[in-house]
């Protein structure tokens, strides 16, 4: 019964969106329509559990090309006769572009057939870049006419990119089931990337399960590292290396989709990867072990930042305190650390917990650590303020304050307070963050390094 309710709620949300968009005035600015739609979709997805990974990979450049593997639309979520709103592309324009760039971008959408009145009435409101898709060609048009019309894709996309607008496009030109996705990529979008000057970044967005009923699946999205075609030695639309690149990239993309299908909230793939890295460590006696969520995981320059120290990075992204507790014995069973540096608690804010409850969970985790290592020194880094969690700033400040008080009662616990170093004239210093407003860039990590070096100097 509950499963059916989830599906019905999603369907109702999409139906309401469709009706609202259709009723918008025909003379309304298309950009305003896109923003309206993004806000409505954001409301719909606020009631849905989903996994989104890799926000740290979002480029600063808004005028990038966001490519994705296009998935079938669930027929059960039809909003009109033979018309379903595409969940995957709406998710990207709303939950990614609108959220992080304050602009939903422009999408590449196929032209409507004569009998697809709902499709036409809906998408005509947005003034998206339109192309004829191979499975939806009017009988009155021949190949040459279709090819000539589709050339508009280049000129219109280039115009958008030069105006600073991101482009969202599926390189396949058709949709598939998650398990079969992606289909073979076409040349168009990759040629486009070599034509535009200055050269745009291509951002791969991997989608899984958006073709399925919400009651039977978990919607998943992963943003991979962006690249330029020149990174692969391709400098023009007629470069002979282009075809080989697309073929190999398609194979890689299929692997990404398969991995995302497996990925779950237990972080099993990441934990297995960390276990392998531990096996490759030469010295597991007296290291400084960094343990926690993505602030630890993304600290790529850690070894270089702490030259002369044996440091081990055991961070895994999105981890809650319970996940760190669950995997502690598994990851630390062969390690005898001298110091453990922690970053935890921030992700638990997403569960709506109070500051007191999160601190209680942190203290329970600390008990687990001290039970295994009675004399260990623990440095607990304060939770950083972030644009992603502006609504939780007061909670974050309370947690940091309570943990400072806890450290005064425990000589083996050091609370590393760097919060004020992130604040500039009463506001968060944006220059310290990646585009997602949640994770540190190199400047942000430099602050952590300086503070940690001082703390470590006093205990090692």
Give the mean model confidence (pLDDT) for residues 174-196.
96
Architecture of the domain made up of 2-262: 3-Layer(aba) Sandwich (3.40)
Are 229 and 199 a contacting pair, CB within 8 Å? yes
**Confidence check: pLDDT of 265 > 80:** no
pLDDT digits (tens, 9 = 90+) for 303-329: 999 999 999 999 998 899 999 999 999
From the options 3.40.1160.10, 3.40.640.10, 3.40.50.10540, 3.40.50.1110, give the CATH code of 268-457.
3.40.50.1110
pLDDT of amino acid 426: 86
Residue labelled with tokens 């006419």 = 145
**Confidence check: pLDDT of 121 > 90:** yes
For every residue of 196-217, DSSP letters joined together read: SSSPPPEEEEEEESTTS-GGG-
**Confidence check: pLDDT of 49 > 90:** no
Mean pLDDT of all residues belonging to the chain: 94
pLDDT of amino acid 3: 57
**Confidence check: pLDDT of 2 > 60:** no
Domain with CATH 3.40.1130 in the chain: 2-262
Mean pLDDT check: name the lowest of 47-56, 230-239, 337-346, 365-374.
Answer: 47-56
Long-range contacts, 325-332 (Cβ 8 Å, 24+): 325/364, 325/365, 325/368, 327/267, 327/271, 328/291, 328/365, 328/368, 328/369, 328/372, 329/372, 330/271, 330/275, 331/271, 331/274, 331/275, 331/278, 331/291, 332/289, 332/372
Domain with CATH 3.40.50.1110 in the chain: 268-457
Give the mean model confidence (pLDDT) for residues 241-265.
94
């Amino acid at each position: 019964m509950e499963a059916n309710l989830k599906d019905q709620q999603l369907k109702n949300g999409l139906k309401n969106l469709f009706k609202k968009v259709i009723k918008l005035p025909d003379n309304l600015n298309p950009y305003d329509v896109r923003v309206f739609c993004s806000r409505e979709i954001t409301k719909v997805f606020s009631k849905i559990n989903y996994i989104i990974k890799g926000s740290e990979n979002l480029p600063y450049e808004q005028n990038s090309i966001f490519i994705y593997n296009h998935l079938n639309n669930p027929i059960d979520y039809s909003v009109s006769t033979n018309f379903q709103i595409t969940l995957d592309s709406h998710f990207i324009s709303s939950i990614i572009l609108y959220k992080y760039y304050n602009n939903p971008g422009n999408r590449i959408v196929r032209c409507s057939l004569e009998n697809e009145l709902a499709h036409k009435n809906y998408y005509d409101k947005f003034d998206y870049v339109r192309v004829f898709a191979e499975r939806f060609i009017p009988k009155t048009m021949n190949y040459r006419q279709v090819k000539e019309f589709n050339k508009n894709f280049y000129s219109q996309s280039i115009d958008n990119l030069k105006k600073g607008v991101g482009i969202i496009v599926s390189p396949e030109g058709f949709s598939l089931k998650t398990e079969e996705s992606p289909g073979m990529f076409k040349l168009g979008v990759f040629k486009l990337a070599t034509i535009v000057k200055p050269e745009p970044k291509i951002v791969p967005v991997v989608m899984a399960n958006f073709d399925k009923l919400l009651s039977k699946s978990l919607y998943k999205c992963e943003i991979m590292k962006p690249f330029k075609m020149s990174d692969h030695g391709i400098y023009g639309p007629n470069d002979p290396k282009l075809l080989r690149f697309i073929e190999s990239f398609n194979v890689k993309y299929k692997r990404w989709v398969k991995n995302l299908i497996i990925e779950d909230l237990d972080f099993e793939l990441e934990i297995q990867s960390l276990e392998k890295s531990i096996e490759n460590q030469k010295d597991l006696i007296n290291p400084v072990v960094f343990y926690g969520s993505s602030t630890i995981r993304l600290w790529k320059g850690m070894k270089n930042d702490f030259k002369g120290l044996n440091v081990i990075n055991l961070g895994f992204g999105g981890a809650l305190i319970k996940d760190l507790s669950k995997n502690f014995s598994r990851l630390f069973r062969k390690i005898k650390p001298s110091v453990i540096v922690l970053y935890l608690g921030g992700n638990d804010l997403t569960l709506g917990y109070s500051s007191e409850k999160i601190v209680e969970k942190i203290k329970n985790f600390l008990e687990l650590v001290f039970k295994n290592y009675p004399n260990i020194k623990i440095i607990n880094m304060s939770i950083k303020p972030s644009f992603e969690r502006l609504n939780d700033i007061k909670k974050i400040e309370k947690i940091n304050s309570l943990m400072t008080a806890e450290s005064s009662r425990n000589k083996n616990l050091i609370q590393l307070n760097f919060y004020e170093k992130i604040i500039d004239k009463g506001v968060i210093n944006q220059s310290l963050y990646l585009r997602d407003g949640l994770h540190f860039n190199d400047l942000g990590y430099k602050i952590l390094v300086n503070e940690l070096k001082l703390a470590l100097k006093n205990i090692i």
